[in-house]
A and B are shown apart, each in its own frame.
Chain A
Amino acid sequence: MNFLELIWMIPLFPAAGAVAMLLFGKKMPNWLVSIICPGMVFTSFLVSVGAVYQLSSLPERQFEKILYSWVPGASFQMANGQLSNLGADWGFLLDPLSSIMILVVTGVGFLIHVYATGYMSHEGGFYRFFGYLNLFMFSMLTLVLANNYLLLFVGWEGVGVCSYLLIGFYFHKKSASDAGKKAFIANRVGDAGVVLGMFTMLATFGSIRYTNVIAQAGSGNFHIGDAAITAITLLLFIGVTGKSAQVPLYVWLPDAMEGPTPVSALIHAATMVTAGVYLMVRSNILYVLSPDTMAVVAGVGAFTAIFAATIGIAQYDIKRVLAYSTVSQLGYMVLACGVGAFGAGVFHLMTHAFFKALLFLGAGSVIHAMSGEQDMRKMGGLAKKIPYTHATFLVAALAIIGTPLFSGFFSKDEILWRAFISPVGSGILLYGVALITAGLTAFYIWRLMFMTFYGESRVDHHAAHHLHESPPVMTIPLMVLAVLSLAGGWIGWPTVLGGSNHLEHWLEPVLGPGAKILEEHAAHGEHAHSTEYMLMALSVIVAFSGLSLAYYFFIKNRAAGDSIAQKFSGVQKLLENKYYVDEVYNAVFVRGMVMNGGEALSKFDARVIDGGVNGVAWFTRLTSTASMWWDKWIVDGAVRLTALVVNLTSYPARILQTGRVQLYAFSILTGLLIFFSYYLFK
Chain B
Amino acid sequence: MVPLSYYLVLSAILFSLGVAGFIFKRNLVTLFMSVELMLNAVNLSFVALSYYFRQLDGQIFVFFVMVVAAAEAAVGLAIIISVFRNRQTLNVDEISRLKL
Contacts and interface: CB of A to CB of B under 8 A. Distances in A.
Interface of A: 658-662, 665-666, 669
22 contacts: A658-B96, A659-B95, A659-B96, A659-B97, A659-B98, A660-B92, A660-B93, A660-B96, A661-B31, A661-B92, A661-B95, A662-B22, A662-B23, A662-B24, A662-B31, A662-B92, A665-B19, A665-B22, A665-B23, A666-B23, A669-B19, A669-B23
A660 B22 CA distance: 12
Contacts of B23: 662, 665-666, 669
A673 to B, nearest CB: 10
Contacts of B31: 661-662
B84 to A, nearest CB: 16
A659 B92 CA distance: 10
Contacts, number: 22
Contacts of A658: 96
A665 B26 CA distance: 13
A666 B31 CA distance: 13
A659 B93 CA distance: 9
A661 B24 CA distance: 11
Nearest to B34: A665
Contacts of A659: 95-98
B75 to A, nearest CB: 16
Contacts of A662: 22-24, 31, 92
Contacts of B96: 658-660
B57 to A, nearest CB: 25
B98 to A, nearest CB: 8
Contacts of A666: 23
A545 to B, nearest CB: 113
Contacts of B92: 660-662
Given A661-B95, A662-B31, 17 more contacts: A658-B96, A659-B95, A659-B96, A659-B97, A659-B98, A660-B92, A660-B93, A660-B96, A661-B31, A661-B92, A662-B22, A662-B24, A665-B22, A665-B23, A666-B23, A669-B19, A669-B23
A66 to B, nearest CB: 80
A669 B21 CA distance: 13
Contacts of B19: 665, 669
Contacts of A669: 19, 23
Listed from nearest, the 5 A-B pairs whose CB atoms lie closest are A659-B96, A660-B96, A666-B23, A659-B97, A662-B23
A661 B23 CA distance: 9
Nearest to B97: A659
Contacts of B95: 659, 661
